[in-house]
Chains A and B, each alone.
Chain A
Amino acid sequence: AQRVTQPEKLLSVFKGAPVELKCNYSYSGSPELFWYVQYSRQRLQLLLRHISRESIKGFTADLNKGETSFHLKKPFAQEEDSAMYYCALGTGANNLFFGTGTRLTVIP
């Protein structure tokens, strides 16, 4: 069965500090991993996906199949990064399985 684990419900960092949001997954097939973000009073939206291997808003995430992880990183946090972040696992059936989310707060 598939599972996504985000161990931190809350994470606070100071502006300019590095940030890492952890995500581990369990899936027997070939995984597709995503990070979705929900800013205050906005709808859930895609931040980035592992297959595109790009940096979005300074965030990157590398799929580590050996550790079954897909941690989200940014070297210098900004106040506008404060949001709810969800790691999601995609299966070949176009379904997404979400983690419980991490609320990131960037302290000015």
Chain B
Amino acid sequence: EAGVVQSPRYKIIEKKQPVAFWCNPISGHNTLYWYLQNLGQGPELLIRYENEEAVDDSQLPKDRFSAERLKGVDSTLKIQPAELGDSAVYLCASSLGRGMAYNEQFFGPGTRLTVL
């Protein structure tokens, strides 16, 4: 079992360019999360999916960020256009889903984005 898979691992772009991150959760995990982790901070939730439905996107800056999970499995997070302040690590996590006794989340390795 590879765990949560994310790609790319690193991305360097110039400001105003678009960028996309991909995540494949653990098989059977219905809940998928995207987190933003700034340097020296803990992860902050951007969006949470239950299957293909975005059930919490209150922290997603919708003017430039978008996400999708069309078939309820893998997901893509996009930024367009990127700004200097978007430089951070973007983490994807998955869990078994709502109603489970434990909310253990399994994290991917993250994508480190640098915006120049």
Task: Report A's interface with B, CB cutoff 8 A.
Answer: 4, 9, 32, 34, 43-46, 49, 51-52, 86, 88, 90, 93-101
Contacts and interface: CB of A to CB of B under 8 A. Distances in A.
Interface residues on B, range: 20 to 34
Contacts, number: 54
A49 B104 contact: yes
A94 B95 contact: yes
Contacts of B102: 49, 51-52
User: Chain B interface secondary structure, helix, strand, loop or mixed?
Assistant: loop
B109 interface: yes
A86 B42 contact: yes
Interface of B: 3-4, 31, 40-45, 48, 55-56, 91, 95, 97-98, 101-110
B104 A98 contact: no
Contact of A99 (B3, B42, B95): B42
Nearest to B100: A94
Q: Across the A-B interface, give the 7 residue pairs with the lowest CB-CB distance, nearest first.
A: A98-B42, A44-B107, A90-B103, A43-B107, A46-B104, A43-B109, A98-B43
13 contacts: A34-B104, A43-B3, A44-B91, A45-B106, A46-B105, A49-B104, A88-B42, A90-B103, A94-B95, A94-B103, A95-B56, A96-B105, A101-B42
